[in-house]
Structure 1
Amino acid sequence: MERDKSAKFIELANKRVNRALKDIQLICNLANRQNYDFNDEQAKKIVRALQQEIDLLKQSFASTEEVGRSEFKL
């Protein structure tokens, strides 16, 4: 049973982390001012939202308690 949980964790972690990394790379593309027009406050809001989720991720792995989730919107 433990082996199955561990194998499932590894399988899902590989898929989800790689998907998240790809999505972050796509978000990085938004910083290209030749293709997009944005202000500093919008950029800060994106970075702040991502940082908050990373902080929640750290908390989740450090504790057994559930952490609140939020949805991003500019």
Structure 2
Amino acid sequence: MSKREKFEELGEKRMNEAIKKIRLIGNLSNKNNYDYTDEHVKAIINTLEMEIQLLKSKFKQEQIPEINFTFNNKKK
């Protein structure tokens, strides 16, 4: 398998997984099942946007530290 074929295979698989996970995050918007604040929503969206910027930087070969998400300073 060529490097391009491997990239395309893994790219499709990982993109479909990412799309599925983003849709699951979207399901959290159901107020019948969940209670959240505007700050929670901003935190989620800001983190996703920062991660997209990191992704863009990686393809441009720039060095930027990874981001971990939490609503507060709890250790997991």
TM-score category by the smaller chain?
0.7 to 0.9
User: Would you identify which runs of 4 or more consecutive aligned residues in structure 1 move more than 2 Å?
Assistant: none
Report the aligned-residue RMSD. 1.2
**5 Å matches for 1:46-65?**
46-61=44-59, 63-65=60-62
Partner-residue secondary structure (3-state), 2:44: helix
| TM-score, structure 1 normalization | 0.87
Using the TM superposition, give the Cα deviation of residue 73 of structure 1 relative to its aligned residue in structure 2, in angstroms.
1.0
Q: Which residue of 2 aligns with 1:34?
A: 32
**5 Å matches for 1:1-74?**
4-61=2-59, 63-74=60-71
Using the TM superposition, give the Cα deviation of residue 66 of structure 1 relative to its aligned residue in structure 2, in angstroms.
3.3
The superposition leaves residues 9-41 of structure 1 with CA deviations (integer Å, 9 ceiling, x where unpaired) of 001101100000000000000011111000110
Structure richer in helix, relative to its length: 1
Partner-residue secondary structure (3-state), 2:2: helix
Partner-residue secondary structure (3-state), 1:38: coil
Mind listing any 5+ residue stretches in structure 1 that lack a counterpart? Answer: none
| TM-score, structure 2 normalization | 0.85
- What is the total number of aligned residue pairs between the two structures? 71
Identity %: 45
